[in-house]
Structure 1
């Protein structure tokens, strides 16, 4: 079992070294870059990664195209702001040694937000299919919220992918603005109708679900911020959808 790790990038010099250095269990590291203007490409090449530069196809399209360019059939897809934990790296080494018994594998994702690891708030375990045979699985999703859909048997790894999210509230607000625009475009493309009642009731419900039902209160101040931001995300997404329609 040989694995190609794939990472799509755009101006990720802050993250790319950490991501690549966590991939010692992979036999090839492939970076698909979309015209970065910082040192992303230089840093990746210095660490021995194979870099291909190509225009943007959307998140799912970009990740599928990266998988098609891989030398090996087994793909480990990582985002630039993620890294394998040492425990997950050891688990993948063990899987390679004994050989796969499934066509794709999920793994839990543990997020670091404002300097704190988030264990609740609907953010964990947040299992994702990230290791897969490219003949049996592919990325789906037109605009945002892309995910891997596997046709074969799906197994489960136990150790974490580490997700290094926002270091500041300003960074979170900027990200939220970008992703709510993409989400609204997706809703408009699907001709979704957003009534005024959803603008009124869905944001507070999102806060209640995140902070209380998903136990965000156990994540301290950061959990409260996540719940408020989740509610604001819902409000912006629906507001932009109505404005675009």
Structure 2
């Protein structure tokens, strides 16, 4: 049967160090590549245009809303969503091509994701197979409005691909600490807006459980020293999320009229 068309969407800000390889992995076989840039100052938009992408420059409303903005620009039958630090391998391309040339009953497909942490591709620690839903029929799915790690809301059945997306997630400890701070702040704000509360005891408990879950339950100790570092980073992120939530409420109480 005739091959269906494919749009690739990527959201970006200051990703000139990464996004070139991302676009190179798809631009020769996707029908269109769409990049939504939110104020880059490192030349990301120009680099993407040089690689043939359609670039739209806008503000940053959060990851989920931004991905939906990119989705609204897509015109193909199917959509593949990638992050700037992700790559589609030739093996994944072949598997996606088989979907595009088939009469599949599924509206979306998940794929495993092979992620690296401080230079090591993790085989445990909850990071593998780490299935993510990234390939879907346009008009049959949208992203949730979460500001971090939005889910895909699919209208229809879901299938599974076998070949992974390659994810160069966290190259060094400096970036790991930056993400601990960023994700814990975003998570705390999300909980605060939901009306959730936290105590120091809860923060310690959640942090301790995050370490145990990553390092022991999910066999992070088999990932060597990087497994231990990741378990600590997860513990810190969880701990600081609840501490920040606790302090947000404390500040809110101070600012409230008595």
Taking structure 2 as the reference length, the TM-score comes to 0.92
Match of residue 104, structure 1, among 105, 108, 116: 108
Shift of 1:230: 0.7
What pairs up with 1:68-79 in 2 under 5 angstroms?
68-79=72-83
Does the CA contact (< 8 Å) of 2:89 and 2:165 recur in 1? yes
- The Cα offsets for residues 87-123 of structure 1, whole Å up to 9 and x where unpaired, read as 1111112222224331011011110111111011011
The structure 2 residue matched to 1:54, chosen from 42, 53, 58, is: 58
What residue number does 1:16 align with? 19
Unmatched tracts of structure 1, length 5 or more: none
Match of 1:66 in 2: 70
Map 1:106-145 onto structure 2 (within 5 A).
106-145=110-149
SS in 2 for 1:48: coil
Q: TM-score, normalising length from structure 1?
A: 0.96
Q: Which structure 2 segments of 5+ residues have no match?
A: 250-258
Deviates more, 1:194-203 or 1:222-231: 194-203
Asked if residue 6 in structure 1 is aligned to residue 9 in structure 2, the reply is: yes
Q: Distance in 2 between matches of 1:243 and 1:73?
A: 47
**Greater Cα radius of gyration, structure 1 or 2:** 2
Name the counterpart of 1:164.
168
Structure 1 residue 70: Cα displacement? 1.0
